[in-house]
Structure 1
Amino acid sequence: MRTEPTWRIPVGVIGLLLALAVYALVIARYVPELIGGWPALAQTPIYIVLGIAWLLPLRRFLIWMETGRWRG
């Protein structure tokens, strides 16, 4: 267990929030133009995949915030 605070955690949280905001804006700006005319049942899987895709790099990012290394 860590006993002293580290700069990586606040920087990581701010970076994560900024990255998620940029990701959300890009998705909200470009995806509706591409699939907006599709039926709702066809759009649903696309938005589900895009809603889960941001989780893929999250594990390594959280490891970096805790340990300072990118690999676990």
Structure 2
Amino acid sequence: MSVRIKKLVGAIILLTLVVVYAILATAFATLYLAESSGWVHLAYFLFSGILWVVPAMVVIKWMESAPRR
């Protein structure tokens, strides 16, 4: 796969990941943390805000890898 195609596919995957992850994280917080204190919300959103980076790093690493010959 050419570098340009890999970057296009990777960008689409990253955008989809961010949107879906944000919706799911917010829905989970709304359903299960509605009655919790502000500190629980802060801890949850700090954790979930950092957690999406792990799959994004995998996609970026794949995008930047050299194409197979």
Correspondence for 1:20 = 18
- Distance in 2 between the 1:52 and 1:33 partners? 20
Q: Does 1:31 align with 2:29?
A: yes
Provide closer, same or farther for how the CA distance between residues 5 and 45 of structure 1 changes in structure 2, counting only shifts above 3 A. same
Correspondence for 2:39 = 41
Q: What SS does the aligned partner of 2:35 have?
A: coil
Query: Identity of paired residues, percent?
Result: 23
Instruction: Tell me the amino acid that sits aligned with residue 9 of structure 1.
Output: K
Q: What SS does the aligned partner of 1:37 have?
A: coil
Q: Which has the higher helix share?
A: 2
Correspondence for 2:8 = 10
- List structure 1 runs of 4+ shifted beyond 4 angstroms: none
Larger RCO (CA under 8 A, 6+ residues apart):
2
- How does the TM-score come out when normalised to structure 2? 0.80
Instruction: Tell me the amino acid that sits aligned with residue 20 of structure 2.
Output: V
Contact 1:35 1:43 in 2 (8 A): yes
- How does the TM-score come out when normalised to structure 1? 0.77
Correspondence for 2:56 = 58
Q: What SS does the aligned partner of 2:59 have?
A: helix
